[in-house]
Amino acid sequence: MNIFSGFKDLLGQINKIDGSIYLKGKDFADIYAKNIALEEEIAARTKELEQANQTILTLNSVWDMMNSPQPLSSMLGKIVSILYEEMGYNFAGILALNTDNKEEQYFTVKAACSNPSVQKAMSILKQSLETYKVPLLENSILAKSIDERKIYSTPDMRGVMRMFYPSITEAELDEVMALIHSKTCAIVPLHNNDDYFGCVVVTSDREGVTDTETNFLSLFANQIELAITVAGLFEEVKKQAITDPLTGIFNRRYFEDSIVKEAERSLRLKQPFSLISMDLDYLKKINDTYGHQFGDLAIKTIANVLKREARSIDIPARIGGEEFNLLLPGVDSRGAVIAAERIRKSIENQVLDTIGGITASIGVATFLEHSDRIDELMELADQAMYKAKINGRNQVQIAKLHNDINWQQVAVETFMDILVKKRIPVNDDVAKAVSEKLKKIQNNDKDSKDVLFSIVDMISQTYNQMYKPGTTKSKIILAVMIAKKLDLSDEEINKLKLAILLYDIGNIMIPEEIFNKKEPLSDKEKNLIKQHPVIAAREILKPISNVQDIIPIIESHHENWDGQGYPGNKAGIEIPVTSQIVLLVDAFYAMTQDRPYRQAYNVDEVINIIKNEAGKQWNEKLVEDFINIIKSEYLK
């Protein structure tokens, strides 16, 4: 009994030890499990902190972009790269809602990550992200996101693909799903101020979208919306700086910068480019008949035709008033004429309210073919356009090859000679101003014509206080139009331009009080004025070698057709036709401007005076052509 009693006690002790060991083991298991749970909790919190840190860095990146003047397209591209590369999404893209046509609702892809799988998927669908139009399907999560201004997500990736590509086949869908490996798609709406802009689309291989992720996407969307607003404002300011406010096409400043760059590229690559110069016909008549709002309508119509007909690389620009230019990179003269004719027909086919039809006169010139100088090219295109206008309007004319002297350079050298050698008496202030203008031409001949015109205006004002700025330019334009009407050669026209610049320079040798005298001139004073052609030709210009062929034009520019002019009493065909043009243009502007002894005549009065002098002062045919030009240009 004692033995059994001892075993029983021993067994009880063993059970007690086992129970103690079991309890200790259970405690250890509980502790281990708690440690595992704590480690998982730490890992989760660490991940959340990393995500929060990444979120802050991402939002900072977007903020930094907003503080730099980046184009909107560049900014959106960087945003989707951040989502794809730093936030771990399989795909990220930004879609913009079409606003051009309210009846057709669709999205275009403004930016998308460069994911190889996406590119393969697009090739399966035979589509391009850059050109694809994403439809806006009713009751889709895309439509709900827009309507409710709320982030929507879905695990139904097959449904998402059908939403974006309604025509996808089951076979194509299987191939695409095998490529993209995404389990969740989220749609994040974007707004620009109060207007709907579009949405961010992201996909991931994670199961669902957490609250933390939704909060991040919401914050991210707010930053993107602000970025869009800032970038949009920058784009608008930039656009305003380079575009014409009435028509929305490029302005003169942008065009002039562009043609310089294109000329540099053309010379480097030995590749031509063409310039189309055009002028809306009868704008003054439209304004006078219907009002300026209809003149603006006609101008905007021309611009819209240019925008529609131009290629994406072409540069349409409004140069001023009713004048437009179109730069055609890489296009030779043959291609430019075809393009110009297409534009002409398109303009002719426009039917406008109240006005009806409109037309344009168009000139074409090609770099490296007609000239390798920008100023000459633009002048040649203008000359071709004026020829189209003179020949009846609503037509295309191509420039002639430019093998003549550079009349502008001759003019610059002549004025430099006159100034340096003090061939005319001018005060120091005028001499300094003219000298600075001439240096400007030598350093940059981009605006050489206008500078030359201003020089002549300045010199003329030293002896004629009523000489209006801009008159010299107007004289040359009118003289060239007459010369072209008479089919004078380019060489003769260049001589005529130089003569217009120089013909009156002898007047500076005549006392100022004679020009400003209100009473009738004495015979002595009249004779002194009659000497100014001789003074200009023989005393001022004869010593200058490069204008010797201009001297006969200037010397005879006051000779009358009937032989009653001065200084040599020449008559009829003895008088160079260019001299007759100078005399006629000079008379027209003299009569239409004030003088100390009378007020200006109106254009109708001047026309009647010139008509009465046909066959006396001027050739009758010249007067007829001149009046036709004046009526079309000043009375249209």
More reliable by pLDDT, 30 or 444: 30
Question: What is the CATH classification number for the domain harbouring 258?
Answer: 3.30.70.270
- The average confidence (pLDDT) of the chain is 80
More reliable by pLDDT, 335 or 636: 335
* CB-based contact 556:579 (threshold 8 Å): yes
Same domain for 588 and 477: yes
pLDDT band at 339 (very low <50, low <70, confident <90, very high): very high
CA pair distance 198, 194, nearest whole angstrom: 12
* CB-based contact 231:72 (threshold 8 Å): yes
Same domain for 259 and 231: no
**Measuring CA to CA, which residue among 360, 393, 366 is closest to residue 381?**
366
Domain boundary among 183, 210, 242: 242
Residue 491, classed as helix, strand or coil, is helix
Class of residue 284 by CB neighbours under 10 A (exposed 0-12, middle 13-18, buried 19+): middle
Lowest mean pLDDT among 43-47, 408-412, 413-417: 43-47
pLDDT at 117: 83
User: Is the pLDDT reported for residue 509 higher than 70?
Assistant: no
Same domain for 459 and 382: no
| Residues 283-314 pLDDT 10s | 988 999 999 999 999 999 999 999 999 998 99
More reliable by pLDDT, 623 or 532: 623
pLDDT at 74: 73
Same domain for 441 and 388: no
Q: Is position 247 within any domain?
A: no
User: Is the pLDDT reported for residue 44 higher than 80?
Assistant: no
Same domain for 347 and 227: no
User: Is the pLDDT reported for residue 149 higher than 80?
Assistant: yes
pLDDT at 606: 85
Top-confidence range, 222-231, 367-376, 422-431, 467-476: 367-376
Residue 576, classed as helix, strand or coil, is coil
pLDDT at 534: 66
Q: Is position 55 within any domain?
A: no
Domain boundary among 376, 398, 420: 398
pLDDT at 225: 77
* CB-based contact 380:365 (threshold 8 Å): yes
The model carries a pTM of 0.42
User: Is the pLDDT reported for residue 528 higher than 80?
Assistant: no
Domain boundary among 349, 367, 398: 398
pLDDT band at 32 (very low <50, low <70, confident <90, very high): low
Question: What is the CATH classification number for the domain harbouring 624?
Answer: 1.10.3210.10
| Residues 89-138 pLDDT 10s | 889 988 888 866 666 788 888 888 877 888 888 888 888 887 888 888 88
Top-confidence range, 193-202, 331-340, 401-410, 470-479: 331-340
Spell out the SS3 assignment of 514-558: HHCCCCCCCHHHHHHHHCHHHHHHHHHHCCCHHHCCCHHHHHCCC
Q: Is position 61 within any domain?
A: no
Q: Is position 343 within any domain?
A: yes
DSSP annotation of 149 = T
- Tell me which residue range forms the domain holding 541: 407-634
Which ranges in 67-187 belong to alpha helices (H)?
A: 72-85, 116-124, 141-148, 157-164, 170-180
* CB-based contact 323:277 (threshold 8 Å): yes
Q: Helix 471-485 and helix 374-390: axis angle, to 10°?
A: 60
pLDDT at 76: 79
Biggest CA-to-CA distance, the chain: 174
User: Is the pLDDT reported for residue 405 higher than 50?
Assistant: no
Residue 556 corresponds to which tokens in the numbers above? 């005879």
pLDDT at 404: 45
What is the count of structural domains for the chain? 3
Same domain for 328 and 455: no
Lowest mean pLDDT among 236-250, 323-337, 527-541, 558-572: 527-541
Q: What share of the chain is helix, strand, coil (3-state, %, to 5)?
A: 60, 15, 30
Question: What is the CATH classification number for the domain harbouring 189?
Answer: 3.30.450.40
Q: Is position 319 within any domain?
A: yes
| Residues 350-387 pLDDT 10s | 999 899 999 999 999 999 999 888 988 987 898 788 77
CA pair distance 314, 201, nearest whole angstrom: 34
Same domain for 355 and 438: no
User: Is the pLDDT reported for residue 447 higher than 80?
Assistant: no
What's the full length of the chain, in residues? 636
User: Is the pLDDT reported for residue 494 higher than 60?
Assistant: yes
Same domain for 337 and 452: no
